[in-house]
Each structure stands twice: as structure tokens, then as C-alpha cells.
Structure 1
Amino acid sequence: MSLIEDRIGPKYRIGEHSFTIEHMRRQDGNGMPQPHAHPFYELYYLLEGERVYSMNGQILSARKGDFILINPHDVHTTSKGSIPGFERILIGFSPAFATGMELGICGLLPFNCSRLLRLPEAEQPEMERILWQMLQECKERRPHYEIAVRSLLAQLLIRIHRVEENIRQSCPGPLHPMQDKISEIVTYVNNNYTEPLTLEGAANRFYISPSYLSRMFSRFTGFRFSEYLRVVRVREAQRRLLSTQERVQMIAEKVGFEHTAHFNKTFKQVTGTTPLRYRKEHR
């Protein structure tokens, strides 16, 4: 299919924050280079083109027929690949929406980790049929369409699970000699974000010059080092806000912020809302 025109379809919704699906075709290949996370699952299916995802310290190059599977609160970026333009279908659904489904679907979630799933060519037509049918159900809104969409989502997740069982897709190999080192540094940050980490400290620890580490970290993750540390801390704060009764001040200290005011400001910059409002809206 030729990408000859932009087309951004409506974003169909079920409930306030339960389920969304959207079809998009773009010529320019623009992405979301700013690191972001959300409290819902995301399924990104690429119909045409190429996209580059950065998450969990990995650089994932998605092509036609690939799924990107994203767990709630996992920080990621997306950018254009070497092929201009892309076409995709994007699904978002809350943990509560998944929990309400039958067929034992809860056992398939959460994903082991956010990752790329490369579908065998023989599997792609059926996956795409399910996706287009979901869009059609949401567009027509016939009686009981919500149940139909839940059923289709269940079918989609089951097929994804079966494909993974069959192929046990390994992660793509390094695209650059520094990619493994950057992945190691990302893992270090993920495990030590409560400490007063700095770019210079990480550079000394891993025997890399600060300027080179800064360039390579941004290149392979889409984040500046300080920016990635900030969103990792906020991601953990989001988890604590929803899963504990801890006060905001205590959460701020536990995720590595010295001052509550700085935490509140950073949290709003990353999520667009305050910690207390986030807790109230997503519980």
C-alpha cells in the first residue's frame, strides 16, 4: 500500500479511560521523541513503514507486521525510521478493562516486559482482520459492540501469546557497539534511581567520557540522562501513588527527590498533572 496521503482517523473510546483504538497514516513519520508513560496497556501494530522505539534500555526497529507491546507505566519514546511515512493501528486499554474479560485473559497480562513482537507473515492477515473488525465495531456502535470489542481483544491477546510460544522471538541484536553498554547503564539507573545519580558519576563508573555518554545515551534511548532518571523516578512514584497509602512527601523521598516541591514540579512536567490529582483520577 502506498503512503500517498495523511489520514488520521477518529480515536474511538469505550468508557472514560477503558479502551481506545485509532488508525493513522502519516507521510512525515513524526513520532513522540519525548519520553512518556501511561497507566494503560498499549498495542501498536505497524501496517506500513518503519518506526523506532526506545524502552527498557533497548532500541527496537519495528517494520510492517510488527507489534509493540507496552505495559502500564513503562517509559518509552517513538521516532521515525529510515523509511518515510508509516501506517499503524494503536490500541490502549486499562488493566480494569482486561480484568473484565472472560476466557481467562488475565493470565496473559501483564506482558513479561514491554517489547517488540515480530509476527510471521502467515499470522499477519488474521491479526489485521481482528484489528479492522475492532475499528469497524467501534465505528458502527451496534448493540453490544462493547462486548464484541472485548471478545476481539481477547482473541488478539491469545493469538499474540500463541505466536510468542511458537517463535520465542529474541530481541533484535545491537545496532551499534555502544548499544549494549547503554543498555547496561539504563539497567543501572533503573536499579539505583533512589541514589543521587549524575551523568558524570555514571560516566566514571562505566569508564566513558561524560560528553560521549551524553551523546550516545540520547541517541539510543531518545532521553537525556537526567531526563531519563527523572521519568524513572516519576514512574515509580506513579506506581506507589496507586498501590499504597503513603503520603506524597514520603513517596518523593523514596523515589529519590530531596524536596517535595521539586518532586511536585517534576511530576507535573512529566505527567501533566499533580501527584494528588493523579492518585484521585486513576484509583
Structure 2
Amino acid sequence: MSDRIGQKFTTHDQLFAIQQLQQTGYSIMPRPHVHTSFELYYLLQGERIYFINGKVFTAQKGDMVIVIPGDLHSTASSQVEHVERVLVHFDSGFIPMPDRQVLELRPFLQSTLLRVPLKEQAELENSILYMLSECKEHQAFYESYIRQLLIGLLIRLHRIGSLEDNSTEPQHPMHQKVSEITAYIHDHYSELITLEQLSANFYISPSYLSRVFLKLTGFHVSEYIRIIRVREAQKLLRTTRDKIQQIAEHVGFEHISHFNKTFKKVSGCSPLQYRKQHIRR
């Protein structure tokens, strides 16, 4: 595998970042992760598999992947070896009001892959590459120019995302199958779920399911189940006064010690510490 990773450029306030990358050969993101900022992933060349909140998308040339803050995601190579992309991260605070209201509209309400019509691709690419150039060169008022370019890009993405024929159905049968399996996990996380059970339910051998699931999501099946349970526990810790023991049982943990250990490994702190950090005053 060979990479040509361009420098990551940021604005002075660190609320906007942009980076270009060219890559040849197979690769997978070291760990699925989340951001506190919005992520725009625009594919200039090639093909890339994106896994976002339980859904598998195949991004192709001209596609824009939108990841909203807090959504778990990862990427992996497809059968197309050469990939070139531009990655943009921005905090909503970088966009002034009232323009920030566009982030409360489609397609920014949930993470998704946006099929950009061919006639729109050149203009979108120009906007993105102009932002990259401005970040590189730091000319007078470059941050203001980047802000205006980003606002224009977001408005165009909103208009494209509002089109009814913007289809993002999985193109590969196994991509669809993995999306169905993750949907099942999201619906049944409080129950006992095993690799063997999923294998039987979805008519796939355990070894093949394990291998494909890891390739497309970056997670082992059992690990993904634990992540979903912890994320649901986090939600309950933030929004309810339920006892930690009750929450552990509700999200599928039989033993409080196992819950505490798993929660700390995923969250970096204990359930009690998490609740104190996120309690609503």
C-alpha cells in the first residue's frame, strides 16, 4: 500500500480543518471512532466503503459522505485500489447565524452518503479545492473566504439532499446483509446475542460473517454488540435517574462488574463518573 497524505490545514480558531489524501492498495481505518465536529468526505477518485451507525455505504467518485457529530464510523478499501479524497471537519460554531440553520435541515440531520449529480460535481469540487488552497496560502481574509465557500457548499448539499431520487441503497449483497445484521443488533441489544445466533438467523457461516463484519465495520461482532450496549447506557445515564444496576441490566449486561469494566474501556471513565460529567443542571 502507498499513501500520499497531504498536510492537514486548519483555520486559526481550529473550528475548520481540511486534508487531501491519495492512497493505493488495501487499507482500513485503525479504529472506528466519533467526532464532536461535522465531517465531509468527498471522493475525487476511486471507491471507498463507509460504515456509519450500523449502515454500510459504498462511496464512489463524486459522492459526498456526511457524518454528523457523535456518530460512530469507519472506512475500508473496496476492490478499487486507487483512492483520492478530501476530508473536511468543521464545528457548527464556524458557521454564523442565520446560515447555521442549514445544519438543521436534510441531509445534515443524520449521517449519510449523498449521490452528487454529475452536473453538480465540478462546482462542488471547485469549492472544496478552493477551501484547501485558501488554507494553504493564508492570504488576506482567508478564513472569511473559507467560511463563505463552506456556507455555499452546505447550501448546495442541502438542495441535492432534498432531491427525492438521491438513492444510497447498498450495491453489494453482503453490504446489505451487514446493514441488516447491525440493525438487528440495534433492535435486540438488551437480549443475548451470539455470533452463532446471528449466523443462523442470517444464513451465513460464523467464520465468514466474522470476517466480513470486521472488514466492513472495523469491529468484531462481539465488540460491536458491547459498543452499542455502552452507547445506549450512556444515553440512559444522561437522560434518566435510573440506578446504574438497572441500566446495566436494561442494556444486556448480566453482571454489574462486567458492565463497569466494559463501560470504562469504551468511555474512558466509570458509569458514575460519566453521569456526573453529563448530568443536566
How far apart, CA to CA, are the structure 2 residues paired with 1:244 and 1:15?
32
1:193-222 CA-to-partner distances (Å, cap 9, x unmatched) read 233322233344445554444344335444
1:160-203 CA-to-partner distances (Å, cap 9, x unmatched) read 11122336321234413x54443322111112223332223334
Q: Residues 174 and 83 from structure 1, CA distance in 2 versus in 1: closer, same or farther, beyond 3 angstroms?
A: closer
Aligned-residue CA RMSD in angstroms?
Answer: 3.5
Using the TM superposition, give the Cα deviation of residue 109 of structure 1 relative to its aligned residue in structure 2, in angstroms: 5.9
Matches within 5 A, 1:133-172: 133-142=130-139, 144-166=141-163, 168-172=165-169
Q: Is 2:72 aligned against 1:72?
A: no
Using the TM superposition, give the Cα deviation of residue 30 of structure 1 relative to its aligned residue in structure 2, in angstroms: 2.8
Q: In 2, are the aligned partners of 1:21 and 1:89 still within 8 Å (CA)?
A: yes
Letter in 1 for 2:130: Q
Matches within 5 A, 1:98-137: 100-103=96-99, 104-108=101-105, 111-137=108-134
Q: Is 2:33 aligned against 1:25?
A: no
How far apart, CA to CA, are the structure 2 residues paired with 1:152 and 1:65?
18
**Partner residue of 2:45 out of 44, 48, 71:** 48
How far apart, CA to CA, are the structure 1 residues paired with 2:85 and 2:97?
25
Q: Residues 245 and 187 from structure 1, CA distance in 2 versus in 1: closer, same or farther, beyond 3 angstroms?
A: closer
Q: Residues 267 and 161 from structure 1, CA distance in 2 versus in 1: closer, same or farther, beyond 3 angstroms?
A: same
Q: In 2, are the aligned partners of 1:36 and 1:76 still within 8 Å (CA)?
A: yes
Partner SS state of residue 166, structure 1: coil
Q: In 2, are the aligned partners of 1:29 and 1:86 still within 8 Å (CA)?
A: no
Partner SS state of residue 120, structure 2: helix
Q: In 2, are the aligned partners of 1:74 and 1:235 still within 8 Å (CA)?
A: no
Gaps of 5+ in 1: none
Letter in 2 for 1:199: L
Question: Under a length normalisation based on structure 2, what TM-score does the superposition of the two structures give?
Answer: 0.78
How far apart, CA to CA, are the structure 2 residues paired with 1:131 and 1:163?
16
Question: Under a length normalisation based on structure 1, what TM-score does the superposition of the two structures give?
Answer: 0.77
Q: In 2, are the aligned partners of 1:75 and 1:231 still within 8 Å (CA)?
A: no
How far apart, CA to CA, are the structure 1 residues paired with 2:69 and 2:264?
18
Identity of aligned residues (%): 43
Letter in 2 for 1:44: Y
Gaps of 5+ in 2: none
